[in-house]
């Protein structure tokens, strides 16, 4: 049988657009034709489209018209209007994490450290409602590009939960590294928050997903989050912080550490960390403690391959692993980082869904629960860790 042809368009031409384009080269569930890309900065757009022989579109509307699937690879603050515009044209949207958020009131004096968190939560819930309503009225769907969901270790654990009838009692996990280089990341008005949303969204989505899977397998309905207790800190902005130069220190008004403790409807729990405070490369992992099994899913720092060199000049121009400070000595070299992190698997699943109208595992409901939990978490952190209910939409 001939594969279905699906036309793809990329919105944005930065880091995420590049790894989306690379992951599309591995899709075999459909024949993907990348129609072109659009971005706000024409010179940067051409830098992206020229070497890939893609059409550079002048307007977002023209790109949406020409494509079946749109990839939203732009800053989070732009996600809602772009997603709604594509859904109105009944197109599928692959949207980067985080789905949406709160970016301040637009005033010059807005400060991410001090604004009332309840205001951030309410604005975010309204943004989520608008996006979910647009999806309901559309023939297209939101495909939430949470790559962790499609990481092979996570999908294997899904199978263990489903087929063993497991009850998950406690999960713990983390995404941490030495910090983001992007200056936009350090400003709440551009990022919508710090470690809790930027990094914590990954292990959180997986924890929420596993409880959805468990509930669906046993009772035909997902088990969803009930409350969150959270703490945030700005360690690299402490007056006494002694900067040795290994961690990024460019954050203006966001946290660089977050702890989230989530209680689910059935009383089970997840304890998750996210930070910019960890040396030794990206630390992406989640552990599941169930009533009949235990797993450790390690997307990074696994021992699929270890490498040793007595002097890092031997590996000078060789990519080893994300964000490691040195290549000398032993490294958790990754033989295929994108594979372990699920990037190619997620694209393959999304295009199968676009071609055959199948539901996606990483959908708008999971994305909305993730964001609603995080912004309830910011309210909790403002109250120094008081328990706050999660609003389910």
Distance in angstroms between the alpha carbons of the first and the last residue of the chain? 40
Interaction of residue 366 with ligand NAD, rule CB under 6 A: no
Draw the binding track, 134-163, toward ligand NAD (x: CB under 6 A; -: no contact).
Answer: -------------x----------------
Interaction of residue 289 with ligand NAD, rule CB under 6 A: no
Residue 181: Cβ within 10 Å count = 10
Runs of H (alpha helix) within the chain = 15-24, 42-49, 60-66, 79-88, 117-136, 147-150, 152-164, 188-191, 195-198, 201-219, 337-341, 343-356, 364-382
CB-nearer residue toward ligand NAD: 205 or 229: 205
Interaction of residue 380 with ligand NAD, rule CB under 6 A: no
At its nearest, how many Å lie between ligand NAD and the CB of residue 23? 10
Interaction of residue 83 with ligand NAD, rule CB under 6 A: no
Interaction of residue 39 with ligand NAD, rule CB under 6 A: yes
Point out which residues pair with 330 in neighbouring strands.
Answer: 308
Point out which residues pair with 257 in neighbouring strands.
Answer: 233, 275
Point out which residues pair with 36 in neighbouring strands.
Answer: 9, 55
At its nearest, how many Å lie between ligand NAD and the CB of residue 283? 14
Draw the binding track, 15-34, toward ligand NAD (x: CB under 6 A; -: no contact).
Answer: xx------------------
In this chain, which stretch among 69-77, 129-137, 322-330, 358-366 interacts with ligand NAD, using CB under 6 A?
69-77
DSSP 333-379: --TTHHHHHTHHHHHHHHHHHHHHT---SS-HHHHHHHHHHHHHHHH
Interaction of residue 175 with ligand NAD, rule CB under 6 A: no
At its nearest, how many Å lie between ligand NAD and the CB of residue 185? 8
DSSP strand pairing (257-264 vs 225-233): antiparallel
Query: 108-128: buried (b, 16+ CB within 10 Å) or exposed (e) per residue?
Result: eeeebeebebeebbebbbebb
CB-nearer residue toward ligand NAD: 201 or 223: 201
Interaction of residue 342 with ligand NAD, rule CB under 6 A: no
By rule CB under 6 A, what count of residues binds ligand NAD?
17
Interaction of residue 321 with ligand NAD, rule CB under 6 A: no
**Contact positions toward ligand NAD, by CB under 6 A?**
12-16, 39-41, 44, 73-76, 78, 96-97, 147
């Amino acid at each position: 049988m001939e594969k279905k042809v699906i036309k793809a368009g990329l919105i944005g031409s930065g880091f995420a657009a590049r790894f989306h384009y690379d992951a599309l080269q591995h899709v075999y569930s459909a024949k993907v034709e990348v129609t072109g890309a659009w971005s706000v900065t024409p010179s940067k757009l051409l830098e992206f489209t020229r070497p890939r022989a893609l059409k550079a579109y002048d307007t977002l509307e023209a790109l949406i018209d020409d494509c079946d699937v749109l990839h939203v690879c732009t800053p989070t603050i732009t996600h809602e209007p772009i997603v709604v515009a594509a859904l109105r044209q009944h197109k599928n949207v692959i949207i980067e994490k985080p789905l949406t958020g709160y970016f301040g009131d637009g005033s010059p004096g807005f400060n991410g450290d001090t604004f009332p968190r309840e205001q951030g939560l309410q604005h975010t819930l309204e943004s989520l409602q608008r996006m979910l309503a647009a999806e309901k009225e559309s023939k297209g769907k939101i495909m939430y590009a949470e790559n962790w969901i499609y990481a092979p270790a996570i999908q294997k654990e899904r199978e263990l939960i489903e087929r063993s009838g497991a009850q998950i009692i406690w999960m713990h996990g983390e995404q941490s590294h030495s910090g983001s280089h992007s200056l936009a990341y350090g400003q709440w008005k551009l990022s919508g928050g710090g470690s809790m949303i930027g990094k914590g969204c990954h292990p959180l989505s997986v924890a929420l997903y596993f409880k959805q899977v468990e509930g669906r397998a046993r009772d035909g309905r997902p088990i969803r989050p009930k409350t969150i207790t959270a703490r945030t800190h700005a360690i690299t902005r402490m007056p006494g912080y002694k900067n040795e130069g290994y961690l990024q220190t460019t954050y203006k008004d966001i946290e660089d550490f977050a702890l989230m403790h989530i209680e689910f409807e059935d009383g089970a729990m997840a304890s998750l960390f996210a930070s910019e405070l960890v040396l030794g490369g990206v630390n992406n992992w989640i552990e599941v403690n169930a009533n009949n099994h235990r797993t450790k899913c390690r997307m990074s720092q696994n021992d699929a391959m270890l490498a040793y060199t007595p002097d890092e000049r031997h590996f000078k121009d060789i990519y080893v692993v994300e964000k490691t400070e040195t290549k000398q000595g032993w490294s958790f070299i990754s033989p295929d980082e994108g594979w372990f992190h699920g990037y190619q698997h997620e694209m393959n699943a999304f295009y199968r869904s676009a071609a055959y109208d199948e539901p996606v595992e990483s959908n708008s409901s999971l994305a909305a629960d993730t964001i609603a939990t995080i912004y309830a978490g910011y309210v909790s952190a403002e109250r120094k860790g008081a328990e706050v209910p999660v609003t389910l939409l």
